[in-house]
Amino acid sequence: MERNENAFENAMEQLKEAIKHMDISENAIKILSSPEEVLEVNIPLKMDDGKLKVFRGFRVHYNTSRGPAKGGIRFHAGVTLDEVKALSFWMTIKNAVVNIPFGGGKGGVIVDPKEISQNELKKLSERYVDAIFEFIGPDKDIPAPDVNTNETIMGWMSEEYNKLAGKFSPATFTGKPIALGGSKGRDISTSLGASYIIDEYMKNHNLAPEKTAVAIQGFGNVGYNLAKILYESGYKVVALSDSKSGIYDEVGLNPEEIMKEKIESGGSIRNIGGRGKKITNEELLELDVDILVPAALENVITKDNARKIKAKVVVEVANGSTTIDADKILESKGKEIIPDVLANAGGVTVSYFEWIQNRTGEYWEADEVFEKLEKIMRTEFKNVNETKLEKNVSYRTAAYIIALERIAKAIDARGI
């Protein structure tokens, strides 16, 4: 595997790049160069056919100087410890970028959920909680959904935690169903947050949605909802894709219609007939559009395809979508990247609201959630933009500078 395909090494390069432009204590750098705690677990599971299968799971607390660890749980065949470490580092930065009182954590299980039954998925989710039970809790580490996990799974996990704890502890998991203490608006929060960031960028550059073509890679929770919000705001959403295939139409696509047809044709964009042109995920990234949104997995823009990226701006809704080499290539070509730690921070922000609601027992209407989310996203975009202009750095480095200053202050104040 080449260097930059390792997400953790990529994350550490991003850290090194940011600290070149700032004054940060040596202690803080040392502490932030590796995770605080790493838990690796075996998850034995009796499958539907009666045979035992052992799954491998991880949970990482990267840094908890600013508060309990917070970050999602990923179910994917390609999960590795390095990936989880990278994701937990990015969560540490992200939570500081939006200034919410959490450190960073992340979890993952090596599994392809499409290969197991619903019953096995539920048992796996519960056994994973059994394995990490001591490691999580409302004041310690608060997991949430990520790739291939959703509110149903959070509901199962939360219930398993409650059983083991012997009490109702809704603030341990966020992204739960509303019936179990989930927050109104959490389902679309990552996408809505990204749309506020895109809106700020557009205003800064005097751009109009009607004249802006957008391509989105990944048609899951975040990609689909963002496509829908942008379409409804007047943007031309010209390309969409899932893991199997992409679809392109220069006139524009209605994401809701595409989702409907995807479901009706067996669950894949590949099978949709009679409209647009089928493209691969690689081709989608290289389309001549104004905004490119990676909303699937990490390491999709690398040194191999960065020169072919034509979009003026890349909005990283997926975590870690651009490698450090690709970052440099895009920058040298005058492309801008709105980094994951800012662009997709809406999800964790509303998770924070969910945690507050669970702890106070006072529940908010969706309007209140969105109003608070909008304020945070727009304020932090402005902060990042100011630092970008002041220090003449990229959006990513500016976001890291702001986050690292906040984290370092907490590390130093603790007197380590």
Residues that bind ligand NAD (CB under 6 A): 145-148, 190, 217-223, 241-243, 281, 295-297, 317-319, 344, 347
Residue with Cβ nearer ligand NAD (240 or 324): 240
CA 7 to chain centroid, in Å, comes to: 14
Residue with Cβ nearer ligand NAD (136 or 227): 227
Q: How far apart are CA 309 and CA 104, in angstroms?
A: 31
Q: How far is the CB of 397 from ligand NAD (least distance, A)?
A: 20
Q: How far apart are CA 403 and CA 416, in angstroms?
A: 19
Q: How far is the CB of 358 from ligand NAD (least distance, A)?
A: 17
Is residue 106 among the annotated active site residues?
yes
Q: How far is the CB of 348 from ligand NAD (least distance, A)?
A: 7
Q: How far is the CB of 344 from ligand NAD (least distance, A)?
A: 4
- Residue 33 burial (10 A CB sphere; 0-12, 13-18, 19+): exposed
Q: Is 276 left (phi over 0), alpha (psi -120 to 50) or beta?
A: left
Residue with Cβ nearer ligand NAD (135 or 219): 219
Residue with Cβ nearer ligand NAD (107 or 347): 347
Q: How far apart are CA 409 and CA 336, in angstroms?
A: 29
- Enumerate the β-bridge partners of residue 337: 314
Phi and psi of 336, rounded to 5°?
-110, 150
280, two tokens: 């691969």
List CB contacts of 85: < 8 A, sequence separation 6 or more.
8, 11, 35, 38, 60, 62, 106
Q: Which of 317, 343, 352 is nearest to 99 (CA)?
A: 352
Residue with Cβ nearer ligand NAD (28 or 86): 86
Q: How far is the CB of 350 from ligand NAD (least distance, A)?
A: 8
Q: How far apart are CA 315 and CA 377, in angstroms?
A: 14
Which residue among the candidates 94, 106, 123, 184 is catalytic per the annotation?
Answer: 106
Residue nearest to ligand NAD (CB): 220
Q: Enumerate the active-site residues.
A: 106
